[in-house]
Amino acid sequence: MRKLRSVPSFACLPALALLLAAGLSGAAHARGYSSDQSVVQVISANVGGKNVYIPSTIVVVPDTEITLSLFNTTDVPHGFRIDGLDIETVMPPQEEHELKLPALEGGHVYQIHCQLHPAHRTGTLVVLSAPKKK
Ligand SMILES: [Cu+2]
């Protein structure tokens, strides 16, 4: 039987290099990529009889002010509350609504929920860890 050797995989290096270039330098990007994360779009929707946030996990970079563009696709108001930040808003039905987030410290995860209807499905806000300084 042939013995398998553990060989480091270098296949992911080009992708990693692209991510580092995009995330750290803010310089030119390959077509279709952007480092602009100033606005994140989220919708509140009813899927299969359950109210959900789409995306249910929002990922943002640290130390950067972010605007959430919230669109409530349903016919009733829904809440959007981030307990750990003591931030909340009410999204009017069928309307787009902006919520500004302050610059957040990296490496934290926050739960998002509808304060008007606690039974609704929750979301998560993930603030990425800051890149290590050289
Ligand atoms: Cu709700």
How much distance in Å is there from the Cα of 48 to the middle of ligand 1? Answer: 15
What are the tens digits of pLDDT across the range 68-117? 999 999 999 999 999 999 999 999 999 999 999 999 999 999 999 999 99
Q: Tell me what percent of the residues of the chain surpass a pLDDT of 70.
A: 76
How much distance in Å is there from the Cα of 15 to the middle of ligand 1? Answer: 39
How much distance in Å is there from the Cα of 17 to the middle of ligand 1? Answer: 41
Looking at residue 40, its pLDDT comes to 94
How much distance in Å is there from the Cα of 128 to the middle of ligand 1? Answer: 27
Least confident of 2-6, 110-114, 121-125: 2-6
How much distance in Å is there from the Cα of 114 to the middle of ligand 1? Answer: 5
Q: What is the pTM of this model?
A: 0.72
What per-residue string of b and e applies to 29-59 under the rule 16 or more CB within 10 Å gives b? eeeeeeeeeeebebbbeeeeeebbbeeeebe
Whether 134 shows a pLDDT value over 70: the answer reads yes
Q: Which residue has the tokens 């959430």?
A: 68
How much distance in Å is there from the Cα of 80 to the middle of ligand 1? Answer: 8
